[in-house]
């Protein structure tokens, strides 16, 4: 129904423009004819004039359509569209003039065509500016309202103009643009639609104070990431809210502006990951890829990225139906749009702890590559639900590994965690247990088993970013467990890209470790997120220190320490291989399966401590 309404709206606009053009052409002809009759004594028959009008106006309407005059978005009409209209009018009349000359038509008609040309151009153009003029006057009136945010647009190029036009036209935006800044000295001290370009990006502090700016909108697409981060930090220090331009393509191939918030991810200054795409494509192409936990944060991103490399099939195996359904719908939409080549997509609902279901999936679909991302990852919850951590993270991994061996899977990659390094909580200890299962399996099978270990993922379910965002939206307080606490962060896309690259490198038995960069202080992260919303920490939004939770560390272990020579580098600068660590051959899996139902949380911790020698039971 919505698409139908859009279609009729477009058709009605074209009909209105055609009607205006017919009136404009008729008026131009009559004015030119009247002028000729005043200057030259001549006679016209009504029939001849009517025939001439019908033929020429009909031809010109078709000609204007060919020139795209009825595809112009009149709300944004500008110089280029005006030039197109000029050439459409001139070329149409030139063709008519040549036709009249060849056919030796009365020279008076030639004079009428010449005289009518400039009048037609003006008559055609003026109605097309009506909507733009209307929007301009509407925005002028709107800007006189009290309460609009005084706004500076960073960037006075095409993108900056798009932002200004969107603000002027969109009554739902509460902005009033007062100035632009741009580093191009040739643009400074000039105007865009009446708004001055008042200086460079280095002048931002001065401009913000002088023009009483409350909000800044980034409209520079090619701005260096480090430069952008530096500008954002300057703006947040001045208590100015920050937004950015996001261009989205519409059905008619035009671009519509969206003015959106910056994400905290934009401030962490993570370098773009460079991948060996040809190697990943060779690894994935024509393979049947099973992704356990395929509806989760990491799992769903694995599905998205694997889909780009022409797999034969992807099997999403997840316990949560809603998550699995969402990624299924997304991938199917993208396939319909031709964003990547079609492949078989299967969604299987089930738990990795259900041995029969796991074997059924493997025997039915015969996967050749497995990414095992299904796991419980929430530290405090697993402290109080330790048996569930064992069932899924340990026994579930054991079942998936055994099924992979039986079905001759080529490569198996475990998605692990930095919390497996000298764990202080049940979740970390179970992930280390899973790594040992993988290591042992690699020694006794043809399947190449490996694990990839990394830290916190920005925006994933259970991470602090969504929690802080929700707390800020609700007016606070924002809760931080300890003012000293730090964490390593990586974006979901970055983590998954490096998982795929590690899988290419895997020869069997490796624990790959990803370079997480510098640790981030969680308290600073909270303050930055509050300032991004144009709020002041501890004034508009309170920050509460709540104390460390059970199993939580102040500082995560440094995954890669070059001073200790505990890792080997790979071809990729962000991927390392952990050198040989503890080797436990006889893991009591069968015994664990038999006794898990009778264990309590303390029993689980004691059992884990016996197996994982580096596990330190937390007293929190």
State pLDDT tens for residues 581-591: 666 667 888 88
**pLDDT above 60 for 563:** no
User: Per-residue pLDDT tens for 234-248?
Assistant: 887 787 888 888 754
Distance from C-alpha of 216 to C-alpha of 514, rounded to nearest angstrom: 35
- Model confidence band, residue 392 (pLDDT cutoffs 50, 70, 90): very high
Place 142 in a pLDDT band, splitting at 50, 70 and 90.
Answer: low
How much is the mean pLDDT over the chain?
A: 83
What CA–CA distance (Å, rounded) separates 41 from 58? 28
Would residue 421 count as lying in a domain?
yes
Write down the residue that tokens 């038509």 correspond to. 105
**What pLDDT is attached to residue 153?**
93
Question: What pLDDT is stored for residue 6 in this prediction?
Answer: 45
Q: Could you tell me the CA-to-CA distances from 526 to 190, 271, 583 in Å, in that order?
A: 39, 22, 40
What is the reported pLDDT for 250?
37
Q: What pLDDT sits at residue 477?
A: 93
- In whole angstroms, what is the distance from residue 306 CA to residue 5 CA? 38
394: its two tokens: 């340990």
The torsion angles phi and psi of 15, rounded to 5 degrees, stand at: -60, -40
- Assigned domain for 50 exists: yes
Q: Please report which confidence band the pLDDT of residue 447 belongs to, taking 50, 70 and 90 as the band edges.
A: very high
pLDDT above 80 (res 95): yes
Give yes or no: residues 307 and 405 share one domain.
Answer: yes
Q: What is the structure's pLDDT at 283?
A: 93
Going by C-alpha positions, the residue among 360, 392, 396 that lies closest to residue 377 is 392
- Mean pLDDT lowest among 22-36, 210-224, 415-429: 22-36
Residues that are catalytic? 419
Q: What is the pLDDT of residue 15?
A: 82
d(CA 354, CA 601): 22
Q: What are phi and psi of 556, to 5 degrees?
A: -75, 150
Residues 6+ apart with CB under 8 A from 612: 423, 429, 432, 433, 436
So what's the pLDDT on residue 372?
97
Q: Quick one: pLDDT band at residue 198, thresholds 50, 70, 90?
A: very high
Instruction: Check pLDDT > 60 for residue 143.
Output: no
CA atoms within 13 A of residue 526's CA, in its CB half-sphere = 29
Tens of pLDDT along 199-228?
999 999 999 999 999 889 998 877 777 787
For strand 411-415 and strand 448-453, is the pairing parallel, antiparallel, or unpaired?
A: parallel
pLDDT at position 138 over 70: no
> Is it the case that residue 105 has pLDDT exceeding 80?
no
Helix H segments across 308-412?
A: 321-336, 355-365, 379-384, 386-389, 397-406
Read off the pLDDT band of 167 (50, 70, 90). Answer: confident
Do residue 90 and residue 161 come from a single domain?
no
Alpha helices in 72-203 (DSSP H): 79-102, 107-128, 130-143, 158-169
Q: What percentage of the chain reaches a pLDDT higher than 90?
A: 32
Residue 355 neighbours by CB distance under 10 Å: 17
Residue 406 shares a structural domain with residue 382: yes
**Do 394 and 499 reside in the same domain of the chain?**
yes
Backbone angles phi, psi at 55, to 5 degrees: -70, -50
Specify the range with the lowest mean pLDDT, choosing from 297-301, 308-312, 363-367, 520-524. 520-524
Q: Is residue 584 part of a domain?
A: yes
Q: Which of 262, 292, 309 is the last residue of a domain?
A: 262
Is there a domain that residue 188 lies in? yes
Give the pLDDT band (50/70/90) at residue 289.
very high
Same domain, 412 and 284: yes
Q: How confident is the model at residue 116 (pLDDT cuts 50, 70, 90)?
A: confident
pLDDT band of 58, cuts 50, 70, 90: confident
**What is the per-residue pLDDT for 550?**
74
How confident is the model at residue 552, as a pLDDT? 74
Same domain, yes or no: 590 and 575: yes
471 falls within a domain: no
Residue 469 lies in a domain: no
Query: Is there a single domain that holds both residue 239 and residue 282?
Result: no
pLDDT at residue 293, rounded to an integer: 95
Q: Do 296 and 430 reside in the same domain of the chain?
A: yes
In this predicted structure, the answer to whether residue 609 has a pLDDT above a threshold of 80 is: yes
If asked whether residues 124 and 143 sit together in one domain, one would say no
The Cα–Cα gap between 144 and 164 comes to: 16
Query: Is the torsion defined by CA of 84, 86, 89, 92 positive or negative?
Result: negative
Amino acid 354: pLDDT: 96
Tokens of residue 152, six digits: 């500076």
- Tell me the pLDDT tens digit for each residue of 486-534: 887 778 888 899 899 999 999 998 999 888 777 888 888 888 888 777 7
Q: Name the least confident of 48-52, 151-155, 264-268.
A: 264-268
Supply the pLDDT for residue 8. Answer: 45
136: tokens are 């301009």
Q: Are residues 137 and 284 in the same domain?
A: no
Q: What is the band of 140 on the pLDDT scale with cuts at 50, 70, 90? A: low
CATH number for 568 = 3.40.50.720
Residue 606: which domain range?
277-463+487-539+554-611
Domain assignment present for 413: yes
**The total number of structural domains that make up the chain:** 3
- pTM higher than 0.75 for the full model? no
pLDDT at 619: 62
Confidence of residue 560 (pLDDT cuts 50, 70, 90): low
Mean pLDDT is highest, among 52-61, 95-104, 119-128, 346-355, for: 346-355
Kindly tell me if the per-residue pLDDT of 466 is higher than 90. no
Count of all residues that appear for the chain in the document: 620
Q: Which of 128, 158, 183 is the last residue of a domain?
A: 128
Domain stop point among 100, 128, 156: 128
Strands 215-218 and 456-458, by their bridges, are unpaired
Query: Which comes out higher in pLDDT, residue 358 or 338?
Result: 358
8 A C-beta contact, residue 576 and residue 570? yes
CA max distance for the chain: 115
User: Is there a single domain that holds both residue 251 and residue 372?
Assistant: no
Q: What is the CA radius of gyration of the chain?
A: 33
213 and 342 fall within a common domain: no
57 has a pLDDT exceeding 60: yes
pLDDT surpassing 50 at residue 251:
no
> Does residue 256 register a pLDDT over 60?
no
Residue 479 inside a domain? The answer is no
């Amino acid at each position: 129904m919505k698409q139908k309404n859009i279609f009729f709206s477009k058709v009605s606009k074209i009909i209105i423009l055609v009607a205006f053009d017919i009136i404009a052409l008729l008026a131009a002809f009559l004015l030119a004819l009247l002028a000729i009759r005043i200057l030259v004594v001549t006679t016209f028959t009504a029939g001849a004039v009517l025939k001439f009008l019908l033929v020429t106006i009909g031809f010109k309407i078709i000609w204007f359509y060919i020139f795209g005059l009825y595809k112009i978005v009149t709300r944004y009409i500008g110089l280029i569209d005006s030039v197109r209209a000029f050439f459409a009018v001139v070329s149409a009349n030139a063709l008519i003039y040549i036709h009249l000359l060849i056919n030796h038509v009365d020279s008076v008609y030639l004079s009428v065509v010449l005289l009518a040309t400039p009048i037609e151009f003006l008559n055609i153009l003026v109605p097309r500016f009506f909507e733009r003029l209307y929007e301009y006057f509407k925005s002028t009136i709107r800007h006189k309202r009290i309460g609009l945010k005084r706004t500076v647009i960073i960037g006075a190029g095409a993108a900056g103009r798009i932002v200004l036009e969107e603000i002027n036209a969109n009554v739902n935006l509460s902005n009033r643009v007062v100035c632009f800044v741009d580093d191009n000295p040739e643009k400074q001290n000039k105007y865009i639609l009446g708004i001055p370009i008042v200086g460079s990006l280095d002048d931002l502090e001065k401009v913000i104070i002088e023009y009483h700016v409350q909000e800044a909108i980034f409209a520079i697409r090619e701005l260096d990431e480090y430069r952008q981060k530096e500008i954002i930090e300057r703006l947040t220090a001045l208590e100015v809210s920050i937004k950015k331009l996001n261009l989205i393509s519409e059905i008619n191939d035009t671009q519509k502006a969206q003015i959106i918030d910056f994400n905290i991810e934009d401030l962490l200054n993570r370098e773009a990951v460079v991948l060996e795409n040809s190697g990943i494509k060779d690894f994935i192409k024509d393979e049947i890829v099973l992704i356990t936990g395929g509806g989760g944060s990491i799992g769903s991103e694995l599905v998205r990225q694997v889909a780009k490399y022409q797999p034969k099939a992807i099997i999403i195996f997840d316990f949560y139906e809603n998550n699995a359904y969402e990624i299924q719908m997304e991938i199917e939409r993208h396939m319909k749009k031709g964003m990547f080549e079609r492949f078989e997509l299967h969604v299987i609902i089930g738990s990795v702890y259900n041995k029969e279901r796991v074997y059924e999936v493997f025997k039915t679909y015969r996967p050749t590559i497995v990414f095992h991302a299904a796991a419980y990852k929430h530290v405090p919850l697993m402290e109080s639900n330790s048996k569930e951590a064992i069932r899924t993270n340990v026994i579930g991994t054991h079942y998936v590994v055994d099924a992979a061996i039986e079905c001759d899977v080529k490569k198996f990659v475990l998605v692990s965690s930095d919390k497996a390094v000298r764990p202080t909580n049940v979740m970390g200890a179970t992930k280390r247990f899973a790594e040992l299962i993988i290591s042992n399996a690699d020694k006794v099978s043809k399947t190449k088993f490996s694990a990839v270990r990394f830290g916190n993922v920005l925006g994933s379910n259970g991470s602090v970013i969504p929690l802080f965002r929700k707390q800020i939206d609700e007016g606070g307080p924002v809760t931080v467990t300890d003012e000293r606490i730090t964490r390593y962060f990586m974006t979901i896309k970055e983590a998954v890209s490096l998982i795929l690259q590690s899988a290419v490198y895997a020869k069997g038995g490796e624990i790959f470790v990803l370079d997480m960069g510098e640790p981030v202080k969680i308290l600073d992260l909270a303050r930055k997120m509050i300032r991004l919303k144009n709020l002041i920490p501890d004034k508009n939004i309170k920050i509460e220190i709540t104390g460390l939770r059970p199993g939580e560390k102040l500082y995560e272990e440094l995954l890669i320490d070059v001073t200790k020579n505990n890792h080997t580098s790979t071809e990729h600068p962000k991927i390392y291989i952990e050198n040989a660590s503890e080797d436990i051959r006889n893991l009591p899996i069968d015994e664990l399966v038999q006794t898990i139902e009778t264990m309590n949380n303390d029993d689980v911790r004691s059992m884990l401590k016996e197996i994982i020698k580096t596990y330190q039971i937390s007293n929190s």
